[in-house]
Chain A
Amino acid sequence: MEDFKSLINYISNPTILVTAVIIIFPFVFPPTNWFYKINKRLNIDKLWTGKGLLLMTFVTVAFFIFGLTDYNFRSIVLKPDNVPISGLILLLIFFTWLSMSQAYKNDQLVDQGESVDEYYEAPNDKVLVWPDLVYVELISLILFSAFMLIWSIGLPAPLEQPANPAESPNPAKAPWYFLGLQEMLVYFDPWYAGVVLPTFIIIGLMAIPYIDRDPNGSGYYSYKDRKLSMSLYLFGWLILWNVLIVIGTFLRGPNWGFFGPFEYWDSHRLEALTNINLSELIFVKWLEIGLPQSILLREAPGLLIMFILVAVLPVLLAKTALKKYYNDLGASRYSIFIVLTIFGALLPVKMYLRWLFNLKYLISIPEYFFNF
């Protein structure tokens, strides 16, 4: 039992956890034909059947029940703040399953030449708002209010001492829906992780219908006809958002350090994480000539990397791997798509650079509040 707990603690290390999740992801949500075939061959698509849902729910619930026997896990999970998050994990599984099972079922129906589940024929009969709709709404309203009332009485929100600017709680956690953002803030300057990235997320979500105008498989759940779109979106939603929330809730402890789910939250744990900037790594550690005086020269490596990422890589991809998409989308839609994708992909890349090489910033110009 203890071995199992220490194994879980060990693989909860973000480097291992996120790597595992990223490797498994394309097989579960295949972005290309190659992955799709493997997905079918390994029967991973069986996850989206009734049995698959039972299995996923059972594993999750079993893990939580087992975890509740552990003091450290229990004190995290049973904190009134965190109870809804555990429930949301189950809801997330259910709704992902719902859409994926619909999509795979529709793919099958289309293959057999039948009409999809959402196929709709305008009915001739009429349904009245009152009482048919309002009645259902009223019942939902009453049930939901009762549920919220009982919940709030049973699990009261923790009231702490009055706010004191001189004393931040340790760890100071954002509300659960912002924990993904808080996790991003660990790797970036506030203006980027707190302002630019959220703006990109919102703009990116708004841009989806303009970028992806492929009529195939639109209007009903489907996977086969829009593998890349589905996979990219789910990567952003499940990994870059939900996994970060789970990390922030269950794996972040005192001093915002990483703790396994069964590890004791020791606020005095010694951790030596001397982070360095790319400029220091190159000029001080490798070239051993000291930081150049000129800011531009000092940050040249980082600026060069950013230039390659924003200006060279999109062009290269348009001529090679993504040629098909470039031709389909046209220059302007392709540029928006690729820039958003690159900045999305930069998030996990930056996280890995921090975990593996203690790299702090690619570009660091604190003189002008610009760090990236």
Chain B
Amino acid sequence: MPKAKDKKTVTITPSSPPPAALNKAESGEEVSRRSFFSWLSIGWVAFIAATGGYFTMMLRFFFPNVLFEPVQTFRAGFPDDYTKGQVDLRWKEKFGVWMIRNDEGLYALSTVCTHLGCTPNWQPTAKKFKCPCHGSGFRMTGIHFEGPAPRPLERFKITLADDGEIIVDKNQKYQQEKGQWTDPEAFLKV
């Protein structure tokens, strides 16, 4: 056992007598048991009322007057507006959708990375979507192949209107890992 440890025992001797401020004689007035309890209850009631008030305000905060609910369904032009083999960025800013046309048809990819929700960038030279936050990479199909993203990008419902215009419905999404990409509405045959 090191010697140092033995020396570490500390005794503290009080250098001054205990404070006497709470002495009845010095404070001058006497608080009776009964009035102490009524003050105590008033205090508690006030405390609970204040806390409850703040809590109500906090609850109110969860029910805002105006909700920002962007349109989930939009018309995306005609299939011929899109070039084959290219990722179309025109709806990225407004709706968060990449439109991609391949040899067979069109699909609408979500621009939300499946790892933590950043927006990947389309890299035309490398032909991949690359996320700037943790380096996830997706192929043009939306399949994940690098970085930590655990599943492919989601696709949205894509259909043709009667007039031949494309309608993308973001309320309905299709996930590859659940086998939903084979759904006829996840892909628009042209």
* Residue in B3, B10, B118 whose CB lies within 8 Å of A115: B3
Docked CA distance A110–B8 (Å):
13
Q: How far is the CB of A11 from chain B (nearest CB, A)?
A: 21
* Residue in A115, A122, A165, A361 whose CB lies within 8 Å of B12: A122
Q: Report yes or no: B2 in contact with A120, Cβ–Cβ below 8 A.
A: no
Residues of the B chain whose Cβ atoms lie less than 8 Å from the Cβ of A268: 123, 125-126
Those of A338-372 within 8 Å (CB) of chain B: 360-361, 364, 366-367, 369, 371
Nearest B-chain residue to A187, judged by Cβ:
B148
Docked CA distance A116–B94 (Å):
67
> Which of B57-65, B72-80, B133-141 lines the interface with chain A?
B133-141
Q: Report yes or no: A256 in contact with B132, Cβ–Cβ below 8 A.
A: yes
Those of A150-170 within 8 Å (CB) of chain B: 164-170
- With contacts A166-B96, A189-B148 taken as known, whether A116 is within 8 angstroms of B10 at the C-beta atoms is no
Residues of the B chain whose Cβ atoms lie less than 8 Å from the Cβ of A215: 5
Residues of the B chain whose Cβ atoms lie less than 8 Å from the Cβ of A171: 132-133
Docked CA distance A197–B15 (Å):
49
Most chain A CB neighbours (cut-off 10 Å) among B4, B96, B151:
B4
Report the count of interface residues on A (CB-CB < 8 A).
53
Residues of the A chain whose Cβ atoms lie less than 8 Å from the Cβ of B150: 189, 361, 364, 366, 369, 371
- Size bracket of the B interface: 35 or more
Main secondary structure of the interface of B (DSSP, over half): loop
Docked CA distance A170–B136 (Å):
13
Q: Any chain B CB within 8 A of the CB of A131?
A: no
Those of B129-175 within 8 Å (CB) of chain A: 130-135, 137, 145-148, 150-151
- With contacts A110-B3, A120-B10, A186-B135 taken as known, whether A270 is within 8 angstroms of B145 at the C-beta atoms is no
Residues of the B chain whose Cβ atoms lie less than 8 Å from the Cβ of A109: 4
Q: Any chain B CB within 8 A of the CB of A229?
A: no
Main secondary structure of the interface of A (DSSP, over half): loop
A interface footprint on B63-98 (CB within 8 Å = 1, 0 otherwise): 000000000000000000000000000001110100
Q: Report yes or no: B119 in contact with A122, Cβ–Cβ below 8 A.
A: no
Q: Report yes or no: B119 in contact with A366, Cβ–Cβ below 8 A.
A: no
Q: How far is the CB of A115 from chain B (nearest CB, A)?
A: 5
A interface footprint on B1-35 (CB within 8 Å = 1, 0 otherwise): 01111011011110110000000000000000000
Residues of the A chain whose Cβ atoms lie less than 8 Å from the Cβ of B3: 110, 113-115
Nearest B-chain residue to A360, judged by Cβ:
B148
Most chain A CB neighbours (cut-off 10 Å) among B123, B126, B132:
B132
**Can you spell out 23 A-B residue pairs with CB atoms less than 8 angstroms apart?**
A110-B4, A115-B7, A119-B7, A121-B10, A122-B12, A166-B93, A166-B96, A168-B132, A172-B118, A172-B132, A186-B135, A189-B148, A217-B2, A254-B132, A255-B130, A257-B135, A268-B123, A268-B125, A270-B125, A274-B146, A360-B148, A364-B150, A366-B177
Known contacts A114-B3, A116-B4, A273-B146; can you find 15 more A-B pairs with CB under 8 A? A114-B4, A120-B8, A121-B10, A122-B10, A122-B13, A164-B93, A168-B132, A170-B132, A171-B133, A182-B134, A185-B115, A185-B116, A187-B148, A256-B132, A256-B134
